[in-house]
Structure 1
Amino acid sequence: MLTIALRTARTRWVTFVGSFLALALGVGLITTMGLGLAATLDAPRRLPERFAQAPVVVKGDDVLRVPVKGGQRTGRIAHPGPVTPELARRLADLGPTTEDRSFPVRPDDGPEQLVGHPWSVAAFAPYTLDAGRAPHSDDEVVTTGWAPTGARIGTDHGPVTVVGTVTERGFEDAVFFTDARAAHLSPAVDQLVVAADPTAVQDAVRALPGGQGAEVRVLTGRDRRYADPDPERDSEALLSVNAVLGTAGGVTGFVSLFVVASTFAFAVAQRRKEFALLRTSGATPGQIRRTVIAEALLLGVAASAAGCLLGAYGAPLFVSSLVDEGLAPRWFTLGDATWPFHLAFWTGLLVALAGAVAASWRAGRVAPAEALREAAFETRIMTPGRGLLGAGLLLVGLGTLAHALLADPSELLHRKTYIGRPMLFIVAFALLSPVLVRPLVRLIAWLPARLPGAGGMLIREYAAAGIRRTAAVAAPVLVTVALAGSLLGTTATLNEAKAAEIRQRTTADHVITAGPGGFDPATIERIRAVPGTEISSTAATTVHVLEEGTALIRSDARAADPRALARTTRLPLTAGSVTDLDDDSVIVTEEWERHTVGSTVEVWLGDGTRKALRIAAVMSIGTGGNGAYVTPANAPGATVDRIDVRVAPATDRRAVGAALAAAAKPAGGRVLTADRWTSENRPGTRRTTRAGLLLVLGIALLYTGIALANTLVMATSDRARDLAVLRLAGATRRQVLRLVAGESLLVVFVGAVAGTLVAALNLLGVRAALGLLHVRSGLVIPWDALTATFAACAAVAVAAAVVPAALSLRRGTVEGAGVRDQ
């Protein structure tokens, strides 16, 4: 059987080249994704940045620790407290201390995210002067190179002169003031650098009266990175990269199995006469099956080895592109893990064997004379097993969709769900494609078949007669179109739903957004004093709640005055009233474990304070971003960052807008009309999510191109006799090639229609979920992406069918029958 497999591979090299390329590419992609995943799992911990040279850093504890049965749960506190004067005095007795402060600086011309620090902390990064000198007076500063020495710059803290620059270190755009000026601009001490023994510092912290030591964190070694701005940004980036690579790897495995299985199935269908001759010469069904499996084994070993080699070269380039695009941290590199190579190789081999199993059973059932008697028109297009499996998967998909809609509609809006769920329907429709293809061909070709001439009729009949060929070509198109429509359509529909929520909730005439640092009380009072206006100022905060006794859930929240909030915002309430909110209550959403108006829920506020609050009102879940609402008393440390403004009737709106802009300008505030604010804050797909979707669709499109080219080259090569008959009937070479191209376009269109049906089914499930979640939004179908996908598939299909047909005609197949070219 191995000898026969080798000879078969040599004589039917077209079939094996396409399968080899598809499988090798799949293994290469799995290797690349696996090496990237290994790098995210084994990535080195981030080193300290701002305090790389600091001995000990003391700061308010920003970790919430909640004891539960069997351990504790932790969360991130949104507003940790500052270092108290009492603690600073105690630590000063142990050794020299340096006070650190961070505050926003808004220059007239410079970086948007500019942060101010006292000059004395610059040495701990370390920042070193590369030009000029240190600041000595209140109007002198040192910058990280974004402004040159000698420049005079206007800021929200007054004009300053740049007297020195330091080398930029990549993690912040900074401006350094004198220590006295920094203390005046930001009195609270954010962090304290202590030049003392860490153990002594720990003892001093624990000795604080009243348990205050539990609210302080002492950082040494690598833990000093927690004193940096946004210390979790690299971890979050790695999680995003991990999710993207995992999803892409899963799709690669799914599509490669699909393509290889489809290729083997079509190859077996084409070789029925060959297998019948082997059966006539005495081969048993088991020997036929072993021949097909031996071919798959040869293909799998060779393609998997080539794919691993391809992945070894491609992974560094892929990781480099992730870093260059800002999707991964600057220090992210490949490690020395070897398990991705083993995973990719054996996955490729198993994919090849799994794709050949079903084909081998079909090959073994060929009777000695069956294929020799079979007509060109295929009468048996669906085996019972394939039909039952396809129908079963379709019922399972519909059943799980219905269950999700009834039990938890919000689950359908999660990324893992809307990426994974289409796979079930894709496989079901692909298995049922032989049944779907013929009626779709008849429907789509109804008009062309009635046009003058025989071309349209011949195209329809050829496609309808060769159902296996038509289904094999349509299947990869179905996969790609269904993925493009489902993934891009779902993200676009969710974005539109979120935008609809924003529009429905905003009843203000103007929205004022703050720059870094938020609005100070003086600015809020200036805005409030503008005649003819009513304002609602809100601040971002968080609340944590312990659900089911074990899960610590964080919810984004906003702090607002309830009466002002009710006049400028329309919350999606399902129970209760906004005006019932007070200092002893909270507004929650229906996704909270406890969400009954009047009941009490225990929460941890943004500064870690534990408090029992009564539920004043309940909001619908919506798309998942409704959060919670508390009063300012329950958001200690939160800074107002948004002000909604209602303008009184019969008031000059232009004059009000100009007055609001003048009042907000000193704090860096932007005054926008409600429509413009809604437009600018229209939700979009995150860069990492978008990159992951494009990667998935790129893989699917690449595989589709390979599958189309492989199947059509195989099919067209076996149709030399059909082409000869057409030439004998009087068709010119151009007419024959137009017929081949038209049939290819028809089959691609059939696959596109079937894929669109799958995408529509998935999108209708998402739209039904949004309706159950009380979100009024339309369904967004990505016609541009679907059209582009169809065009790409059509171009590949036409080229892969026309070129072999043209070569077949030029080799004299037709001329040998006595027909000359016209």
Structure 2
Amino acid sequence: MLSVALRTLRARWAAFAGSFVALALGVALLTVMGQALAASQNAPARAPERFAAAPVVVKGQDTLRVATPTGERTAPLTRPRPVPTTTVAALRALGPVTEDRSFPVTAEGAPDDLVGHPWSTARFAPYRLSTGRPPEAANEVVASGDWTTIGTRLRTPDGQLRVVGTADGPVRFENALFYTDAQAARLAPVSHQLVVETTDRAAVRAIVDDDVRVLTGDDRRLADADPGRDAEALTALNALFGTAGGVTAFVSVFVVASTFAFAVDRRRREFGLLRTVGATPAQIRRTVLTEALLIGALAAATGCALGAYAAPLLAELVVDGGLAPAWYAIGGRDEGIWPYHLAFWTGLSVALGGAVAASWRAGRTAPAQALREAAVDGRALTRGRFLCGTALLLTAVATLAYALLTDPGELLHRKTYISRPMLLITAVALLSPVLVRSLVPRLPGTTGLLVRANAVTGVRRTAAMAAPVLITVALAGSLLGATATLNEARAAEVSRQTTADLVLTPTGTALKAKDVERLRQLPDTIVSAVSSTTVYTVEDGVALVKSQAKAADPALLAATVALPVTAGRLTDLDDDSIVVTEEWAHHRVGQQVRVWLGDGTPKTLRIAAVLATGTGDNGAYVTPANAGGAEVNRVDVRVRAGADKAAVAARLRAMDGVRVRVMDKAQWVRATYPETNRTTRLGVLLVLGVALLYTGISLANTLMMATADRRGDLTALRLAGATTAQILRLATTETLTVVTLGGLLGLLVTAVNLTGMTAALHLLSAPTPPVLPWPALAWTTTACALLATTTTLISTALALRPRRT
């Protein structure tokens, strides 16, 4: 069998080229994703930045620790606790104490990540003045970096600032403005960490209690802003590459198996001849499997080599796109060899699996029947393909129904709406030969008659050519349509829940208490101030869950919002109660729940009301007393009956010293429309890009294989008197018909997937119609049509060239 397989490969190398290319590319993609995942497992140790020259840093408690039956659970606090004043006083006896303060700064023409600090903390980085002098007045600052110069005037919500100096640090890790210590204390009254200039670290630890952390050595990096950003970046990368790897694996397996099955199925005449001369079914199967083993091993090895070359390019792409930190690289560290093993053996297994499925039918076919079926596909589906397709279709329907009945919110999660279409795509692709006869249109004229006849008589060939278009259109439509539908549902939810006439947001980070009081004095208005906070709870006795929450006066809140209350009353909310959503493990009115506030304070609160889950943005509600120190970041204003809304808005904009953006309801809905952030958008485009690139190559590959298989048909048309132009026109029409068929099947899969999501949204009290991404579907289908037409014209023209004798 080995010698027969080798001779067959040598004689029919062109027929096997398509299978080789498809498998090599699939293995290359799997290798790249595997290496990307391996490289994102561990972040490098980051050295201290802001306090690299500080001897000892004392930091208030910023971690919530909760004991559970299965061990201690931790979570970062939204509002870290300040160092107690008694502890600060005791530390001053050991040496000079410098209180650190960090706060965001918004200034016209300045970087978006601008942050303010006291000038006294600059020396601990250390920063050094490169030009100018230190700040001396409240409106003077020193700027780090080279984004500004001395004398520049900066307009901020707290007044105009003048740059009197610039400073350079050893590493550019932030864009900072350094104020005088007094002005920094006014802008950020609470200090959460400080530096103690002493060498007696044991004495410092002896003074502080368990609610304070003492940081020395490399632990001083924990006092930097967002010390866990590297770990968070790796978590995001793992999720991104895990999703991309899953999609890649699915597309690769789907396309490679389809290509191998198509290639073997086209050789039925050859198998019939072998059966005629006495070959047994087992011998034919062994021959095909040996061929697949040889092609698979060579293609998988080639794919691993291509993947090793392409992986560093992917790392550069995600770093340049802002999806990964600057230090991220593939190949710089030892990622192990498991990605190569995984990709190689997966590719080889897929090659053998695709060959087995097709060779089994060829091996068990009688010799005369095999010869008779060589040119025309008799049965559209084999029994095995029909059973597998039906089983997958029923599984897709059953799992969708189960999710809708038990947990419809699961259908809104990114992993779900990315992975669920794959099941339906596979089912439709397996059953597509049955649909060909009914979906292929009856085109006018002789060309139309031939197109339909070729498509219907070669249903398996037609299905194999339509499969790449199906997966391309279905993935693009399902992924982009899911995000668009979810965004539209969230926008509609905001519109329904906002009953205020005007919504005010601060131009800075938060509104001061005195400004809120001034707003409440405005006549003819009902003013409800809202703070964003967090509450923590333990679910099932083991999981510490963080939930977003809002704090507001319940009486004022009821006048400015229309929350989807399913049980209880919003007006029953008080300092001893909480409003939760149906997502909470405990959501019965009157039930007591143990929670921890945003600053870690433990409380037992009674459930006053329950909200519908909605799109997932309906968080908990508490009173300002349980906000954990959160500041007001939104104010809803209801204009009383008979008052002029325009006049009220004008008075709000003219209020001296209160810097807020004033928006009516329509403007607020537009401003809060949930646009996909850049990282998520690039991540989705990466997943789609990998899948679409591969399926595009597969489409061209399958078309070339199909054209080569029909060389005899093309020759017969030439002998019957058809011109080259007529044959090219016929081939192009056939190709466009197949692309249309694949596009229709992909649109069908997209519609079913989005219908399931909209059904879930209706059950979650967030009704919205499905949003089909028509531009993306049009561009994707057009790209497939252009690629397919170009490939068909080239391959057909080559097939029509006279052979050399």
TM range (shorter): over 0.9
Q: Residue 820 of structure 1 aligns with which residue? A: none
> Does 2:373 match 1:374?
yes
- Whichever residue aligns with residue 47 of structure 1, its letter is A
Alignment partners' CA distance in 1, 2:165 and 2:252: 59
1:102-142, CA deviations, whole angstroms, 9 ceiling, x for partnerless residues? 23444455344432211111122222222222223444321
Cα 1:273–1:109 change in 2 (3 A) is closer
- Whichever residue aligns with residue 549 of structure 1, its letter is G
Asked if the contact 1:264–1:356 (Cα under 8 Å) also holds between the matched residues in 2, the reply is yes
Which of 694-703 and 771-780 deviates more? 694-703
1:574-629, CA deviations, whole angstroms, 9 ceiling, x for partnerless residues? 11121111111100000111111111111111111111111111000111111100
Asked if the contact 2:268–2:374 (Cα under 8 Å) also holds between the matched residues in 1, the reply is no
The Cα shift of 1:802 comes to: 2.5
Alignment partners' CA distance in 1, 2:589 and 2:272: 75
Asked if the contact 2:42–2:234 (Cα under 8 Å) also holds between the matched residues in 1, the reply is no
Cα 1:93–1:540 change in 2 (3 A) is same
Q: Residue 183 of structure 2 aligns with which residue? A: 181
Cα 1:434–1:156 change in 2 (3 A) is closer
For residue 711 of structure 2, the aligned residue among 713, 720, 736 is 720
Q: Secondary structure at the match of 2:207?
A: helix
Q: Kindly report which structure 2 residues correspond to 1:716-795, keeping only aligned pairs within 5 A, or say none.
A: 716-795=707-786
Asked if the contact 1:55–1:193 (Cα under 8 Å) also holds between the matched residues in 2, the reply is yes
1:81-102, CA deviations, whole angstroms, 9 ceiling, x for partnerless residues? 2122211111122233211112
Q: Residue 334 of structure 2 aligns with which residue? A: 336
Structure-2-length-normalised TM-score: 0.95
Q: Residue 91 of structure 2 aligns with which residue? A: 91
> Does 2:483 match 1:508?
no
The Cα shift of 1:570 comes to: 0.8
Q: Residue 327 of structure 1 aligns with which residue? A: 323
1:556-582, CA deviations, whole angstroms, 9 ceiling, x for partnerless residues? 001101111111111111111211111
Q: Kindly report which structure 2 residues correspond to 1:197-216, keeping only aligned pairs within 5 A, or say none.
A: 197-205=200-208, 213-216=209-212
Q: Residue 147 of structure 1 aligns with which residue? A: 148
Structure 2: any 5+ residue segments left out of the alignment? none
Which of 139-148 and 432-441 deviates more? 139-148
Q: Secondary structure at the match of 2:367?
A: coil
Asked if the contact 2:501–2:645 (Cα under 8 Å) also holds between the matched residues in 1, the reply is no
Q: Secondary structure at the match of 2:213?
A: strand
Asked if the contact 1:704–1:793 (Cα under 8 Å) also holds between the matched residues in 2, the reply is no
> Does 2:574 match 1:574?
no
Which of 608-617 and 300-309 deviates more? 300-309
Q: Residue 642 of structure 1 aligns with which residue? A: 634
For residue 269 of structure 2, the aligned residue among 253, 257, 273 is 273
Q: Secondary structure at the match of 2:134?
A: coil
> Does 2:526 match 1:553?
no
Alignment partners' CA distance in 1, 2:190 and 2:683: 42
Asked if the contact 2:107–2:155 (Cα under 8 Å) also holds between the matched residues in 1, the reply is yes
Which of 787-796 and 600-609 deviates more? 787-796
Asked if the contact 2:56–2:214 (Cα under 8 Å) also holds between the matched residues in 1, the reply is yes
Cα 1:160–1:744 change in 2 (3 A) is closer
> Does 2:433 match 1:456?
no
The Cα shift of 1:170 comes to: 4.3
Cα 1:159–1:57 change in 2 (3 A) is same
Q: Residue 208 of structure 1 aligns with which residue? A: none
Q: Residue 165 of structure 1 aligns with which residue? A: 166
Q: Residue 439 of structure 1 aligns with which residue? A: 438
Asked if the contact 2:153–2:161 (Cα under 8 Å) also holds between the matched residues in 1, the reply is yes
Alignment partners' CA distance in 2, 1:377 and 1:363: 14
1:697-748, CA deviations, whole angstroms, 9 ceiling, x for partnerless residues? 2222222222222222222223233223333444332222111111111111
Which of 618-627 and 125-134 deviates more? 125-134
Alignment partners' CA distance in 2, 1:713 and 1:266: 12
> Does 2:222 match 1:226?
yes
Alignment partners' CA distance in 2, 1:32 and 1:812: 41
The Cα shift of 1:495 comes to: 0.8
Q: Residue 27 of structure 2 aligns with which residue? A: 27
Q: Residue 210 of structure 1 aligns with which residue? A: none
Q: Residue 240 of structure 2 aligns with which residue? A: 244
Asked if the contact 2:265–2:359 (Cα under 8 Å) also holds between the matched residues in 1, the reply is no
Asked if the contact 1:514–1:669 (Cα under 8 Å) also holds between the matched residues in 2, the reply is yes
Alignment partners' CA distance in 2, 1:58 and 1:421: 49
Q: Secondary structure at the match of 1:369?
A: helix
Alignment partners' CA distance in 1, 2:55 and 2:316: 34
Q: Kindly report which structure 2 residues correspond to 1:324-403, keeping only aligned pairs within 5 A, or say none.
A: 324-334=320-330, 335-338=333-336, 339-374=338-373, 376-403=375-402
Asked if the contact 2:579–2:622 (Cα under 8 Å) also holds between the matched residues in 1, the reply is yes
> Does 2:293 match 1:292?
no
Alignment partners' CA distance in 1, 2:161 and 2:783: 58
Which of 541-550 and 700-709 deviates more? 700-709
- Whichever residue aligns with residue 82 of structure 2, its letter is P
Cα 1:692–1:362 change in 2 (3 A) is farther
Alignment partners' CA distance in 2, 1:152 and 1:59: 34
Which of 721-730 and 187-196 deviates more? 721-730
The Cα shift of 1:158 comes to: 4.2
Q: Secondary structure at the match of 1:192?
A: strand
> Does 2:610 match 1:618?
yes
Cα 1:537–1:362 change in 2 (3 A) is same
Q: Residue 631 of structure 1 aligns with which residue? A: 623
- Whichever residue aligns with residue 380 of structure 1, its letter is R
**Displaced runs of 4 or more, over 6 A:** none
Alignment partners' CA distance in 1, 2:216 and 2:37: 30
The Cα shift of 1:294 comes to: 1.8
Structure-1-length-normalised TM-score: 0.93
- Whichever residue aligns with residue 552 of structure 1, its letter is L
Alignment partners' CA distance in 2, 1:608 and 1:289: 67
Alignment partners' CA distance in 2, 1:107 and 1:377: 73
The Cα shift of 1:401 comes to: 0.9
The Cα shift of 1:387 comes to: 0.9
Alignment partners' CA distance in 1, 2:472 and 2:401: 25
- Whichever residue aligns with residue 424 of structure 1, its letter is L
- Whichever residue aligns with residue 245 of structure 1, its letter is F
Q: Secondary structure at the match of 1:117?
A: strand
Alignment partners' CA distance in 2, 1:139 and 1:259: 65
Alignment partners' CA distance in 2, 1:798 and 1:10: 30
Cα 1:787–1:299 change in 2 (3 A) is same
Alignment partners' CA distance in 1, 2:402 and 2:590: 31
Cα 1:356–1:812 change in 2 (3 A) is closer
> Does 2:48 match 1:45?
no
Alignment partners' CA distance in 1, 2:112 and 2:374: 74
Asked if the contact 2:114–2:175 (Cα under 8 Å) also holds between the matched residues in 1, the reply is yes
Alignment partners' CA distance in 2, 1:126 and 1:340: 43
- Whichever residue aligns with residue 538 of structure 1, its letter is V
Alignment partners' CA distance in 2, 1:718 and 1:184: 80
Q: Kindly report which structure 2 residues correspond to 1:652-731, keeping only aligned pairs within 5 A, or say none.
A: 652-663=644-655, 666=657, 668-731=659-722
Alignment partners' CA distance in 2, 1:91 and 1:187: 19
The Cα shift of 1:465 comes to: 0.9
Q: Residue 209 of structure 1 aligns with which residue? A: none
Alignment partners' CA distance in 2, 1:732 and 1:332: 58
Q: Secondary structure at the match of 1:214?
A: coil
The Cα shift of 1:186 comes to: 3.0
Q: Secondary structure at the match of 1:749?
A: helix
Which of 321-330 and 560-569 deviates more? 321-330
Alignment partners' CA distance in 2, 1:108 and 1:471: 58
Cα 1:110–1:658 change in 2 (3 A) is farther
Q: Residue 651 of structure 1 aligns with which residue? A: 643
The Cα shift of 1:429 comes to: 1.2
Q: Secondary structure at the match of 1:437?
A: helix
Alignment partners' CA distance in 1, 2:59 and 2:464: 64
Alignment partners' CA distance in 1, 2:100 and 2:370: 85
- Whichever residue aligns with residue 58 of structure 2, its letter is V
- Whichever residue aligns with residue 76 of structure 1, its letter is P
The Cα shift of 1:662 comes to: 3.0
